[in-house]
Amino acid sequence: MLRCLAPTAAFLLLAGLGCGTPGPSLTVTHALYRPVPGDAAAPPRYTRFAAGQSEWVGLQAVVDAAGRPLVVTGVRVDTPVGPGGARLGEPACYREHWITVSKPSPRSPYPAGPWPDALIPTAIAPDERHPGATRFRALPAPVREGARAIFYIEIRTPARIPPGLYRGAVTVSLQDAAPLRSDFLVQVYPVRLPDGPTIQSDFGSMARASLYAGVKRYTVASKDIERLCERVLMRNRLAPNRPVDSYCGAEADGTAKAWTAVPAVREYMQMLPGSAMQLPIPGPDQWGSGKERTVRFVRAYMAMLQQNGWADQAYAYPVDEPESLADYDRVRAVSKVLRCADPRVRLLLTEQPRPENPEWGSLEPYVDIWCPLWSEWDPGPIAEQLAKGKQVWSYTALAQGKRPTPFWLLDHPLLNYRVALWQSWAERCTGLLYWCVVEWSQTEDPWLNPISYLFFNGEGVLLYPGIDVGMKSPVQSLRLKAIRDGTQDYDLLAMAERRLGKARTQSLCAPVATTWFEWNRRPEAVLASREALLRAIASTSGQPRTKR
């Protein structure tokens, strides 16, 4: 109803309505929404979110310019307030920067075009600011006619927050236009997630970030860069292969000066309780002429880990993707050196238990953690290894295999990055490996050319260089947040198995995923099954300890 308008103003407003030009709109939606190139459909309205205690809640605010260009000048997120005035954590907000794909990745179902991915903070802390020119800013954000701006919002639920319904709001300020507002709800269940992720991970070294910056490795400057990348990754519940400061020098005979690494390893274990850590093994020729030095180094390093209660979390990953008899023999030789150093050292191998060529022989006696490629998954041999007490991780790279798996590439569905954690639980994987998150070295500019490896967009890139947005730390991505949310889903599945049993939990997981080759492509199915998990766990009596 139009009330208290001067005649001229009322006439102009009615004329604008009559011309049929739509105005800007704001839609709150879930964190798995991502428009594909050429998609002009309105985003799904999704304003009620389900969460446990001590976890991240992600959502998106989509500003649609409709029939006229606009400029977003500010985004305010009111902290959700619930029972008795209890408040959730302080929201963080990011503008989603669009990365343009000029040539689609192999097996991508989508055309070339822009994808929202890099998350530029709308507020950068003073100690995080990097001096110098800034190429990209979160705000102000111009939006072309018919285009949209998307903002990613994350909120942390405190560990001891009262369960119940929490109400928040998003307000978007526009230049020369009235602000837009949308309310949202967060239903918090009495289910506390563990302090560290249940699933272990190895997401590679951060060394390529130093290379991109033109900084020589193993210098103070390179360590500073790599350390910042590691901490951003760990804040998203994922682990690097090892902290850069866990490297240490050695005595003349090769014995590790392991005590110098204690502070770095302790910080790492405190940030990600229960996480695995890849052993640092210096060269040269660790497994040949230098193997006696390797034995002394590993023995001393494992002794340090044992003294601090971390030995069970250490593993070695010295051979990658063996593809010949010579490679298999190398695995055997390496395993013998490690067993000589300390029988507790676990050897991880990116290979399936059944050899590609039977003439190469079995590696079963030498491998402690099998880590097959998703597309090479063979459930029979995997089940046999699990029954014998071996661990099973998994990994992905490129878009390999005759049968599709949820490929991790920029121009593939965002859901792929999250559903893989449901598949991990369904296939009894306890760890996840990804080779790199900062593969910026094979493109001149990861912001303008996302082909990061061979012909693949976003392969090995889950972070972007922070210097380009005026930050010391790297810029996070929408895909990284999807993996983080998946680790929380895995926590709930593991918790449900402990409280409800394996069969009941499988029935809750099945609507989302059953194998590496069978999964639900609908984001809403993941969100519905996740809330079903929360309800089922909350219905059990008592709250067993979930801290790792």
Helix (H) or strand (E) holding 211: helix 207-212
Query: How far is C-alpha 72 from the geometric centre of its chain's CA atoms?
Result: 28
| Residue 424 to residues 102, 134, 339, 381, 383, Cα–Cα distance (Å) | 32, 40, 29, 16, 14
C-beta separation of 242 from 208 below 8 A: no
Residue type, 393: W
- Count CB atoms within 10 A of the CB of residue 117: 25
What are the φ and ψ backbone dihedral angles of 111, each rounded to 5 degrees? -80, 175
Helix (H) or strand (E) holding 51: strand 48-53
Could you tell me where the beta strands, DSSP code E, fall in 55-176?
55-64, 70-81, 92-101, 113-121, 141-143, 148-157, 164-174
The answer, yes or no, to whether the previous bond of 284 is cis (omega within 30 of 0) is yes
- Does residue 256 sit in helix, strand or coil? strand
Helix (H) or strand (E) holding 297: helix 291-307
Torsion of CA 392, 510, 275, 91, to 10 degrees: 160
Q: Superfamily for 22-190?
A: Immunoglobulins (2.60.40.10)
Query: What pLDDT sits at residue 5?
Result: 33
Residue 153: partners with Cβ closer than 8 Å, 6 or more residues away:
58, 59, 60, 61, 77, 91, 92, 93, 94, 170
Could you tell me where the beta strands, DSSP code E, fall in 364-403?
369-370, 391-395
Query: What pLDDT sits at residue 118?
Result: 98
Lookup: tokens for 189: 């269940």
Residues 70 and 143: their CA atoms lie apart, in Å, by 5
Residues 189 and 539: their CA atoms lie apart, in Å, by 10
Residue 220: partners with Cβ closer than 8 Å, 6 or more residues away:
none
Instruction: Please write the tens of the pLDDT for every residue from 20-31.
Output: 667 899 999 999
C-beta separation of 389 from 346 below 8 A: no
Residue ranges in the chain whose pLDDT is less than 50: 1-18, 544-548
> Which residue in the block uniquely carries the two structure tokens 């302080």?
90
Torsion of CA 474, 480, 485, 486, to 10 degrees: -140
- Does residue 369 sit in helix, strand or coil? strand
| Residue 216 to residues 208, 219, 249, 436, Cα–Cα distance (Å) | 11, 6, 18, 19
- Count CB atoms within 10 A of the CB of residue 210: 24
C-beta separation of 392 from 346 below 8 A: no
Name the nearest CA neighbour of 248 among 209, 211, 218, 290.
Answer: 218
> Which residue in the block uniquely carries the two structure tokens 């049968």?
403
Query: What pLDDT sits at residue 21?
Result: 67
Residues 189 and 161: their CA atoms lie apart, in Å, by 10
C-beta separation of 26 from 61 below 8 A: yes
Count CA atoms within 13 Å of residue 240 on its CB side: 28
Q: Helix 502-509 and helix 415-426: axis angle, to 10°?
A: 160
- Does residue 110 sit in helix, strand or coil? coil
C-beta separation of 414 from 116 below 8 A: no
Instruction: State the span(s) of the chain assigned CATH 2.60.40.10.
Output: 22-190
